[in-house]
């Protein structure tokens, strides 16, 4: 009988904190997770090893990165706290540490930046999203739901075999059909869980993050190409195939959705 087992990464949510998000370009709330390795059977974690890294995921845009937990004074357990409340509790020095950058963001909003600052901001956004899309970052994972439904399918198949070897022929056919239908339904539900996880992940793809990050600067396609040609191609190879025209189009769509400012 096929038993699926092995090790997988699991993210245990620890709480929330607030910091500057390089995609939202403002103070944002982050989910803080401990990253652990777990032994699994059918992707159901049975035994967890110790924490070997910490991740944070922006509540607003989905950007995530590895962090050193010591950058926060505390981790909040309040699931409802706004960004400013979280900042006061978890990152009290934020305003002082990010003063220069917050001033620059205010000048960007007032369209008072020079060409060098504009180029630096576009480059920074490109590098941040390249880091997000790079190796070691979160990937869509086969989740517990997939494992549970596959186990259910297996259970129905075993029950069908047992039922087929007992009782009269009419009952065997009826029970066989019922269990087969249940097994097929379980496999379909496992597939649904898998697809949903991939769709959820794709919704936070590099195009969307770049569009959000660049929206306040509204670059042209040729400006994006100029940035691409100036950054380290090895460090940003995850973005090599992105089309600058599509990023510009997504920015326009975001502006239309947001309405007149
Ligand atoms: Zn963000």
Quote the pLDDT of residue 137. Answer: 62
Residues with CB under 5 A from ligand 1 (ion): 21, 23-24, 28, 58, 60-61, 63
217 found inside a domain: no
Q: Among 170, 186, 202, which residue terminates a domain?
A: 202
Based on the domain organization, do 184 and 94 belong to the same domain?
no
- Return d(Cα 85, Cα 90) in angstroms, integer: 9
pLDDT at 110: 94
User: Residue 76 has what DSSP assignment?
Assistant: B
Burial category of 253 from C-beta neighbours within 10 Å (exposed 0-12, middle 13-18, buried 19 and up):
exposed
Query: Are 74 and 17 members of one domain?
Result: yes
Of the three residues 110, 131, 159, the one that is the final residue of a domain is 110
Q: How far, in Å, is the centroid of ligand 1 from the Cα of 213?
A: 9
Query: Do 76 and 29 reside in the same domain of the chain?
Result: yes
Q: How far is the centre of ligand 1, averaged over its atoms, from the C-alpha of 126 (Å)? A: 14
d(CA 34, ligand 1 centre) in Å? 19
| Ligand 1 centroid – CA 62 distance (Å) | 6
Whole-model pTM: value is 0.78
Residue 253 placed within a domain: no
Q: Verify that 3 and 96 share a domain, yes or no.
A: yes
Give the contacts of 228 (CB within 8 A, at least 6 positions apart): 126, 236, 239, 244
Q: What is the mean pLDDT of residues 102-121?
A: 95
Question: For a pLDDT cut of 90, what percent of the chain falls above it?
Answer: 56
* Total domains in the fold of the chain: 2
Q: Do 158 and 96 belong together in one domain?
A: no
Instruction: Please tell me whether residues 21 and 73 are part of one structural domain.
Output: yes
The reply to whether 63 and 158 lie within a common domain is no
Count the alpha carbons within 13 Å of 207 in the hemisphere toward its beta carbon.
17
pLDDT band, very low/low/confident/very high, at 225 (cuts 50, 70, 90): very high
Instruction: Give yes or no: residues 182 and 77 share one domain.
Output: no
pLDDT, tens digit, for every residue of 171-198? Answer: 777 888 888 899 999 999 999 988 887 7
The pLDDT value recorded for residue 202 is 59
Domain boundary among 167, 183, 202: 202
Domain hosting residue 161, numbered range: 144-202
How far apart are the CA of 59 and the centre of ligand 1, in A? Answer: 7
Question: Taking 70 as the threshold, does the pLDDT of residue 1 lie above it?
Answer: no
Same domain, 174 and 85: no
Residue 23 domain-assigned (yes or no): yes
Stretch (H or E) spanning 131: helix 115-133
């Amino acid at each position: 009988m096929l038993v699926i087992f092995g090790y997988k990464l699991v993210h245990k949510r620890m709480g929330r904190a607030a910091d500057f998000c390089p995609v939202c370009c403002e103070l944002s709330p982050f989910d803080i997770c401990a990253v652990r390795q777990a032994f699994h059977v059918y992707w159901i974690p049975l035994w967890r090893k110790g924490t070997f890294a910490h991740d944070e995921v922006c509540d607003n845009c989905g950007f995530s990165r590895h962090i050193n937990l010591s950058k926060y004074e505390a981790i909040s357990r309040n699931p409802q706290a706004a960004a400013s409340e979280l900042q006061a509790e978890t990152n009290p020095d934020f305003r002082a540490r990010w003063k220069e950058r917050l001033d620059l963001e205010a000048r960007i909003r007032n369209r008072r930046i020079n060409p060098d600052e504009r180029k630096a901001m576009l480059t920074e956004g490109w590098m941040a999203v390249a880091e997000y899309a790079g190796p070691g970052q979160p990937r869509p994972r086969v989740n517990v739901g997939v494992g549970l439904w596959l186990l259910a399918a297996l259970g129905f198949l075993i029950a069908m075999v047992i039922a087929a070897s007992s009782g009269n022929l009419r009952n065997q056919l009826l029970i066989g059909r019922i269990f087969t239908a249940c097994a097929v339904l379980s496999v379909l539900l496992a597939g649904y869980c898998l697809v949903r996880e991939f769709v959820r992940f794709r919704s936070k793809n590099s195009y969307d993050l770049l569009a959000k990050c660049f929206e306040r600067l509204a670059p042209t396609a040729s400006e994006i190409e100029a940035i691409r040609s100036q950054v380290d191609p090895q460090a940003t190879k995850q973005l090599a195939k992105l089309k600058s025209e599509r990023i510009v189009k997504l920015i326009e769509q975001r502006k239309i959705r947001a309405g007149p400012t």
